[in-house]
Amino acid sequence: MDNNKVWFITGASKGFGLSLVKQLLDAGQLVAATSRNLQELTTAVNTTSNNFLPLQVDLANESSVSLALQHTHEVFGRIDVVINNAGYGIGGAIEELSDAETRMAFDVNVFGTLNVIRAVMPYLRKQRSGHIINISSIAGITANTGWAIYAGSKYAVIGISEVLAADVKEFGVKVTVVAPGAFRTSFLTAGSLSITGNQIDDYTEVRAIHNKYLKMDGKQAGDPEKAATAIINAVYEENPPLYLLLGGDAYNRALAKLDTLHQEIRQWQDVTCSTDF
């Protein structure tokens, strides 16, 4: 890394967030990191470096987010890179999940991201520089059975990122949306994944898929340290990608989705075009 930047990373007490924080601090970067549990965050990072600013933040609360970014700017003098990493998985058929469970997933995975973007943009616009990185999922490009609400939230992050990139380009602010596949993080553990307790017996395929995923814990092909390095390196690219897929499984799933889209769109071309005046 040729120059120091100020990084603001959400959901930093585990998973990609923790890997990012540790790698950046090892490289001498300035890092503000958030978690719902400050003690958990400071214990996980385990450093006394003045380059590290741990913050307890409720991402669903606009005031909490705004104050955290204000404090970061006061301490470090600027904000260069924002990584919206916080999020969690939620599994179940749509009718198995309550309105409250569904809204909570969107509060964290979508509205938390929006709160950070909304609060940080005044700083980035004034600087005429910056990079916003939103962590989505390959499920936000092509979803699997039993994960409709999770996939819906991650599709939203991709759509938001696509338009955000166009909206903020004139300010010199760059945007990247990351779509990881399966990595050996804590994602498939109880603290990061919620499976519906309201299981309806008819959904046998949903249960089978959930059981398959839960058995993958610790056996995923993706290395989270390599993923963190790839995300960091993207920031230093002259032309960073808008879409950054991580993992061979993500690559293959995305290509299969593109093939399916192409085939079906062409197959129904006559019907599609017949609706014009």
Catalytically active residues are: 136, 150, 154
Tokens of 127: 């600087």
Rounded CA-CA distance 256/230 in Å is 23
Distant-in-sequence contacts of 113-116, Cβ < 8 A, 24+ apart: 113/59, 113/84, 113/86, 113/157, 113/160, 114/160, 115/59, 115/60, 115/61, 115/62, 115/65, 116/8, 116/10, 116/59, 116/65, 116/69, 116/82, 116/84
Which residue type does 11 have? G
Note whether 55 and 109 are within 8 A (CB).
Answer: no
Inter-CA distances, 123 with 69, 147, 202, Å: 9, 36, 51
Query: If we measure between CA atoms, which residue out of 188, 228, 194 comes closest to residue 107?
Result: 194
How far apart, in whole angstroms, are the C-alpha atoms of residue 193 and residue 106? 14
Q: Measuring CA to CA, which residue among 222, 204, 190, 209 is closest to residue 151?
A: 209
